[in-house]
Amino acid sequence: MIAAQSDRLPWHHADWDRLIVCYRLARVPHAIAVAGSAGLGKSAFACRFARALLCLSPLPDGDGCGRCRGCALEAAGSHPDHYIVQPEKDAGGPIKIDQIRQLIDFLMRSSQYGGFRVALVDPADRMTVSAANSLLKTLEEPPAAAVLLLVASALSQLPATLRSRCRRVQLKPPAAGLARDWLATHYPDAIDLLALAGGMPLRAIAYAQAGVGERYTALVADLVAIAHNRQSPVLAAQSWTGIGLRAWIELLQLALAGLARVAVTDCDADRIPSGAQLHMLSQAIDCSHLHDYIEQVTAIRRAADQPLNEQLAIEDLLIGWRTAVRGARAQTMG
Ligand SMILES: [Zn+2]
């Protein structure tokens, strides 16, 4: 996930204020799970709270002052009472038990600066089962003045016993108007991608930065051309070589989600990118064939972590798309 433009995101206010009240009452939870969909700024929220806890003289709204020794060390990434655990190799990799054992050692030590020790696990849903279980004992008997922040899009993947020992902060998507206003100030190019991003402002920015909008439009055009026999799946697949199978399937899933939405409610067509084309496509395929095809795509997405031939897999999926449309047409004619 991209860094937030500002970590004071307006849709965090209510959750932020509740945590700051705990802080003022000296009732900061020992473990906090920051949950919510990707693109809401969960990491930004957790980091902001970590800064607040490490600051020696927080501002009236609870934020770190940005000037004290605690804030300076935190900003430099060298605060001895701050510990961050992330996947070792790549963002999609696991967080292993050895990493969590080191984290537990950190939590058990005494504070170097006499304040809180703050540990962040991000993303916590990348912990292996044994890593997550190894945290349990620590949370059952939490060390004093230590705060563990777990950031997770898929909180349900953590063991229930672990979840039940955390205070949950569930970030919710902002209202559409608020999201658009915020993007207008921070990243106007991403406004048109907000619907595609499911209303998640930071995801819309990530899409804009990665050129997802243009690719999405091109893919919908391919799906239309294939459905109307104006393009062969094999030739269409060639034009997508090099994008990466996972990225391409995510794009296809976005297009299919849009198609499913338009198929169910006509009125949404003008609210999502390429809505008119999707509306046209929704006339070419019925819900049952669309559903089966979406299942097929989901299954291949699951296998996309295995080494598959990218070109062949894209070809297969586009041929599958043509088959689904033809199947729907044959059924209508029959
Ligand atoms: Zn400070």
Report the mean per-residue pLDDT for the chain: 90
Compute, in angstroms, the gap from residue 117 CA to the centroid of ligand 1: 15
pLDDT at 296: 92
Mean pLDDT (whole number) for 39-55:
95
Compute, in angstroms, the gap from residue 148 CA to the centroid of ligand 1: 20
Q: How far is CA 209 from CA 18, 78, 123, 177, 213, in A?
A: 33, 30, 22, 22, 9
One-letter amino acid of 239: S
- In this structure, the answer to whether residues 40 and 137 fall within a common structural domain is yes
pLDDT in tens, 108-145: 998 888 899 999 999 999 999 999 999 998 999 889 89
- In this structure, the answer to whether residues 100 and 237 fall within a common structural domain is no
Confidence of residue 173 (pLDDT cuts 50, 70, 90): very high
Compute, in angstroms, the gap from residue 56 CA to the centroid of ligand 1: 5
**Which residues are within 8 A (CB) of 266 and not within 5 positions of it... i.e. 6 or more apart?**
279
Confidence of residue 6 (pLDDT cuts 50, 70, 90): low
Compute, in angstroms, the gap from residue 21 CA to the centroid of ligand 1: 18
- In this structure, the answer to whether residues 23 and 155 fall within a common structural domain is yes
Mean pLDDT (whole number) for 270-287:
86
**Which residues are within 8 A (CB) of 250 and not within 5 positions of it... i.e. 6 or more apart?**
301
pLDDT at 5: 40
Compute, in angstroms, the gap from residue 52 CA to the centroid of ligand 1: 7
pLDDT at 4: 40
Domain of 15 in residue numbering reads as 10-172
Confidence of residue 56 (pLDDT cuts 50, 70, 90): very high
In this prediction the pTM is: 0.82
Compute, in angstroms, the gap from residue 82 CA to the centroid of ligand 1: 14
Specify if 184 maps to a domain. no
- In this structure, the answer to whether residues 140 and 243 fall within a common structural domain is no
**Which residues are within 8 A (CB) of 308 and not within 5 positions of it... i.e. 6 or more apart?**
245, 300
Compute, in angstroms, the gap from residue 110 CA to the centroid of ligand 1: 20
> Is pLDDT at 67 greater than 70 in this prediction?
yes
CATH classification at residue 117: 3.40.50.300
pLDDT at 3: 40
Compute, in angstroms, the gap from residue 120 CA to the centroid of ligand 1: 19
Domain closes at, from 141, 172, 203: 172
**Residue of 194, 201, 218, 230 whose CA lies nearest to 274:** 218
State how far the Cα of 104 lies from the Cα of 293, in Å rounded to an integer.
46
> Is pLDDT at 176 greater than 50 in this prediction?
yes
Mean pLDDT (whole number) for 265-275:
74
Compute, in angstroms, the gap from residue 48 CA to the centroid of ligand 1: 12
Specify if 1 maps to a domain. no
Compute, in angstroms, the gap from residue 73 CA to the centroid of ligand 1: 10
pLDDT at 249: 92
Specify if 202 maps to a domain. no
Specify if 5 maps to a domain. no
- In this structure, the answer to whether residues 235 and 329 fall within a common structural domain is yes
- In this structure, the answer to whether residues 42 and 168 fall within a common structural domain is yes
pLDDT in tens, 235-264: 999 999 888 888 899 999 999 998 998 888
Specify if 187 maps to a domain. no
Compute, in angstroms, the gap from residue 12 CA to the centroid of ligand 1: 21
Mean pLDDT (whole number) for 151-166:
92
- In this structure, the answer to whether residues 32 and 116 fall within a common structural domain is yes
Q: How many domains does the chain have?
A: 2
Say how many CA atoms lie within 13 Å of 297 toward its Cβ: 26
Burial (CB count <10 Å: 0-12, 13-18, 19+), residue 47: buried
Compute, in angstroms, the gap from residue 66 CA to the centroid of ligand 1: 5
